Structure 1
Amino acid sequence: MTGRRGDPGLLDRMVGDSLGWLSGARDRFRLPANVTTDADPNLTLKPLGELAELTRLIGTSHPLTGIRDTADGLFDFAWRETREGELFAELIRREPHATYPVELYGVFAQAGLRHPDVDALVAATTGLRSWRVAREDHTRTLGVLNAERRIGLTRHADFDAVLAQTGLGRMPEPWALDRRSAYGITHDVFHLTDWGRARRQLPAELAAYLRLWLPSWLDTWLEEELWDLVGELLAVTACLPRAPYDPVVWQRLAGAQAADGSVPETGVAPGPEDPDAAFTACYHSTLVTAFAGTLARTAMEGADRAPEGAVAVAGRTP
């Protein structure tokens, strides 16, 4: 991998342009009236939760005030869409065993945005025996454990034991990594490091494995023009100790970014004549580009920031 020297101007432009497009698309993140009944959470709650997760990180980490302000505005918008937390109380009452309301609430709770009914409900539901059953998706379980920590709950399982069962923890043969497994590994890193806030939590053995194989994986998905996964792998790269910076990969991702700031998930985005399809095709990869650019920018400055305070993500001391 290339060394740490990078192009802060390129990164700042990419982050700023991405946030500009996301701000313009804000209304498409609004939750429908039936969000707690028959709406598809993958098309409603998931996008809003991703907006909140990543803009919170950007708003507390990026060195430029203007970028932080824009990200903060989007995060505040996401909180208002939850009716300042009341939405989570409704979701938990309807599905007391569901993990996604707890996962979504975690980033707001970490930011100091709390709702008393939600706090009482999650304290009760996460203490149930049915909550503590083993889940097959170990990566998802890491996310739940991280959310419990953010909220201030006792985690229902041992983080390190679950990590050992994930794709990252098992360190699979790199040549056998498919697209789904690659996404799993990126999220293992994000949950382990609290989305880049606690990069020192990444164990040396896992960091060495990633440092060795990330260039090959990036080459693979650059060839496929899967920009969304390229962005996530760049975010993982920025979480490594002495994070390397590959100008060729960043230039390729910058070349995929449209003039309006959007980044397609893969290939080229749909045209403006179909705004719904364009939003679906671009919102996540555009968020990921802003997120990865922010982590790379702070890593470039040697900043291992923990904006919400130094916390033990995996039972270790940061």
Structure 2
Amino acid sequence: MRGSFRLPADVTTDADPNLTLKPLGELAELAQVIQALHPVADVREAAADLFGFAWKETRGGELFVELVRGEPVATYPVELYGVFARAGLRHPGVEDLVGATTSLRRWRVAREDHTRTLNVLNAERRIGLPPHADFGAVLAHTGLGLRPEPWALDRKAAYGITHDVFHATDWGRAPGRLPAPLAGYLRLWLPAWTESWAEERLWDLVGEFLAVSACLPEAPYDPAAWRRFAAARTADGAVPETGDPPRDASPGEAFTACYHSTLVAAFAATLARAAGHPETPESEATP
């Protein structure tokens, strides 16, 4: 499956970033968390290898020079570069460019999606750039920060809440950054949400909720939810985003249907084990 993460030659021109850059960035983000937090040395080593592969695909960061030059005020090159910068992998040309582009007044124009703004602020922190907004103030206006009525949560809002948590906690590395009132809200409603989405067989979202649970103080653990989630895995350890994996799918179709939820499974299992739940089922589907 690793080959499916390789970037095509036209990645900076005609290729769809949602099918190229996004998967590679997600691989890098979650592999780095697993490398840092997983208690098993062999798993950490495998994750480190995947992270190194992802950096190599960016040609040592040269890719980000091209992306920033092509779209100076786009946030995604900065967000992706921040994943590697956090691990100490930097490129002088990128540093010079983003230092200039993020100082523009245009960069500080408010974005409609507060959750996305949290990710941009996280990237600025990782790279060492001045934050363009106050993190706490932005968090307060997200779906999580407003603590909406739990019954009103639709699929899009649910993903927004999980990512609010991931950005606030630096993908589970710093759970203490999550304000206590928000942690309390999540602790109260996560079990019902997880059960509801499991009934719908939305495994990708179930995995994200299990990861969020592992980010909370004293990390509540739901063995029944984990067993149900683990049962969704295929024989090779892949986890479909929804329902069952597609039958008679091409390699590309199978990758698209399973890659993100499989990464999430490994990520959630790592956070749960790091929080002290050794009985958590391992994801056997390292890409």
1:208 counterpart (184, 201, 215): 184
Task: State whether structure 2 residue 67 is matched by structure 1 residue 73.
Answer: no
Counterparts of 1:62-211 in structure 2 under 5 Å? 62-211=38-187
For 1:118-139, what per-residue CA distance to the aligned partner results, in whole angstroms no more than 9, with x for missing partners? Answer: 0000100000000000000000
SS at match of 1:167: coil
SS at match of 1:127: coil
CA distance in 2, matches of 1:184, 1:287: 18
CA distance in 2, matches of 1:119, 1:195: 23
CA distance in 1, matches of 2:165, 2:14: 33
In structure 1, the residue matched to 2:197 is: 221
In structure 2, the residue matched to 1:271 is: 247
In structure 1, the residue matched to 2:211 is: 235
The alpha carbon displacement at 1:195 in A equals 0.2
The answer to whether the Cα contact below 8 Å between 2:221 and 2:277 also exists between their aligned partners in 1 is no
CA distance in 1, matches of 2:234, 2:135: 40
SS at match of 1:300: coil
Alignment-mate amino acid for residue 84 of structure 2: F
CA pair 72-198 structure 1, distance change in 2 beyond 3 A: same
Number of residue-to-residue matches in the alignment: 278
Structure 2 unaligned regions, length at least 5:
279-287
Alignment-mate amino acid for residue 134 of structure 1: A
Alignment-mate amino acid for residue 244 of structure 1: P
SS at match of 1:169: coil
SS at match of 1:245: coil
Q: In percent, how many aligned pairs have the same letter?
A: 72
In structure 1, the residue matched to 2:258 is: 282
The answer to whether the Cα contact below 8 Å between 2:144 and 2:182 also exists between their aligned partners in 1 is yes
The answer to whether the Cα contact below 8 Å between 2:211 and 2:267 also exists between their aligned partners in 1 is yes
The alpha carbon displacement at 1:259 in A equals 1.2
The alpha carbon displacement at 1:271 in A equals 2.9
Alignment-mate amino acid for residue 69 of structure 1: E
In structure 2, the residue matched to 1:38 is: 14
The alpha carbon displacement at 1:38 in A equals 1.2
Alignment-mate amino acid for residue 156 of structure 1: H
The alpha carbon displacement at 1:208 in A equals 0.5
The answer to whether the Cα contact below 8 Å between 2:172 and 2:215 also exists between their aligned partners in 1 is yes
1:55 counterpart (15, 21, 31): 31
CA distance in 2, matches of 1:259, 1:272: 15
CA distance in 2, matches of 1:149, 1:271: 43
RMSD: 1.0
The alpha carbon displacement at 1:68 in A equals 0.5
Alignment-mate amino acid for residue 41 of structure 1: P
Alignment-mate amino acid for residue 56 of structure 2: R
Query: With CA pairs under 8 Å and 6+ residues apart, which has the higher RCO, 1 or 2?
Result: 1
CA distance in 2, matches of 1:143, 1:231: 20
Alignment-mate amino acid for residue 243 of structure 1: A
TM-score, length-normalised on structure 2? Answer: 0.96
